[in-house]
Amino acid sequence: MALGTNVTLIPARKHIRKLKNDEKPKLRVAAYCRVSTDSDEQATSYEAQIEHYTSYINGNPDWELAGIFADDGISGTNTKKRDEFNRMIEECMAGNIDMVITKSISRFARNTLDCLKFIRQLKDKNIPVFFEKENINSMDSKGEVMLTIMASLAQQESQSLSQNVKMGLQYRYQQGEIQVNCKWFLGYTKDENKRLVIVPEEAETVKRIYREYLEGNSLLKIARGLMADGIKNGSGRTKWHTSNVNQILRNEKYIGDALLQKTYTTDFLTKTRVRNHGIVPQYYVENSHEAIIPREIFMRVQEELIRRRIIHTSPNGQIRKFSSNHPFANKIVCGNCGEVFRRVHWNNHGKKSIVWRCVSRLENTGRFCDARTISETDLEETLVKAINKMLCDKDDYLEILQENIQNVLQEEQSIDLSEIDSRLEILQAELVRRVNTKADYDDIADEIAKLKDEKQNSELKNIRQDDLKKRISDMSAFMQQQTSFLINYDEGLVWRLIEKVIVDVDKLTVDFKSGVMVNVDE
């Protein structure tokens, strides 16, 4: 039979008869397990889940084990840190898994949106998810409706659990129990009873930071010194940032105290934590563990931190920041306009030198100043002369120093801190009672905050007075021990003894930290 030109011939297809013994391809089934804590009890549950699903899948002749995906000690409220869960989804998308089994919706996800998102994503690939506890198959016609309801209940359960955990933490805080993450905490670790214990080598690093800061070093200089010596920070790295040093200097735990609930979780789903600025109660536990830094040193550092924020306020209101590149930095003050002097590398007619000039002559401060320029060498010689002048009239100056000590003693106001502590103890007990009964505690919290501020101010005042007495005693000790005049300039003595140098037209006035002032005529 002849075929037309527009007709395509299709050859007959061979029919291959299937044998009865031919096996159907097995369904590749994966299981997902998760426990949300790393406790021993939960770890047992975690192992039990893996064992259960391994035997369960292998026991079905039509199934083939495609893998057990298990996240240990991970929350189910989001999927960002659930590595195994995300790997399972990737395997499904790659066509390596035909079905997923899990214990319950809460094991799969406690976040309703996440649960439905991944269910629909797998459904598009014709991959069902079977939830044993609820007996729900995501491919059933009523499956998604049931999943929506059950996932919402799981999310609500998670929220309730989160609230219970918060209340449990608050209760422990009220009892003075501290919880500190030592993973990146330099100086301490935890013993078998989860109590803070000192790590000697790390503690020496902490002491070094405090010592160098009080010696006048900046945060950057301290950080660079630590890196140069190959010293590791709290995270075990040798890379130091100024923020690392700053946090160590401000951490009350180094004096054996603990401020609890510095941050709090704003959203139980996203686990977003923000700094606590009074939104939720904070608890301050004194002497909760062994201290690395003495309390008086810590308070001096806190005062120095505040001082360095505003090291010098110019007459025009401009704030000059602290600099520690040189012992004279921020210490040379203009007697004419009140500005500080700045170090300048000067090239005058081909002759290079280092001089100090008033800032008003270097930048537009809105003030005219004709203060003289003074060489660094002259400043060094002036300080040597000032110290020698005191040594020359040693007895007279020692008498002045003794009078200064007496003046400090007369100004001391002995505030009974024990009364404040007693009142704080009563208020904290009342705060605990109100929190437990869910009563309003704002007035109690405000009074506690005021008393703590009062206590801190009193402690700071006492420390200032103690510091001044120490400075006077230090000067007296130096003068008594120094048996001869200085010949050469000593940078260490500038850090130790000199508060500032006032530059006038015909003289330099050296203001010592002890409160003594010495004029050096030009």
Cα separation values, 405 from 387, 388, 398, 468, Å:
20, 22, 11, 8
CA angle 494, 496, 497 (to 5 degrees): 70
DSSP strand pairing (507-512 vs 498-503): antiparallel
Contact at 8 Å (CB) between 272 and 265? yes
The pLDDT assigned to 311 comes to 58
- Separation between Cα atoms, residue 42 and residue 21, nearest integer Å: 45
- Separation between Cα atoms, residue 336 and residue 520, nearest integer Å: 17
Residue that is written with structure tokens 């035997």 in the block: 55
- Separation between Cα atoms, residue 333 and residue 499, nearest integer Å: 11
Domains and their CATH numbers in the chain? 27-160 (3.40.50.1390), 188-306 (3.90.1750.20), 372-521 (no CATH)
DSSP strand pairing (27-35 vs 99-102): parallel
Helix (H, G, I), strand (E, B) or coil at 509: strand
- Separation between Cα atoms, residue 429 and residue 436, nearest integer Å: 11
Contacts of 427 (CB under 8 A, 6+ apart): 444, 447, 448, 451
- Which segments of the chain have a pLDDT < 70? 1-23, 35-46, 73-81, 107, 109-113, 141-182, 259-285, 307, 309-325, 408-416, 463, 522
Q: What is the pLDDT of residues 307-366, one digit of tens each?
A: 676 555 666 666 666 555 678 888 899 998 888 898 898 887 778 889 999 988 888 777
Could you tell me the sign of the dihedral formed by the alpha carbons of 476, 480, 481, 484, in that order?
Answer: positive
344 Cα distance to chain centroid: 37
249 Cα distance to chain centroid: 11
Burial bucket for residue 172 (CB in 10 Å: 0-12, 13-18, 19+):
middle
The pLDDT assigned to 278 comes to 47
Largest CA distance in the chain: 139
Q: pTM for the whole thing?
A: 0.46
Instruction: DSSP for 93-104, please give it.
Output: HTT--SEEEES-
CA angle 255, 196, 425 (to 5 degrees): 55
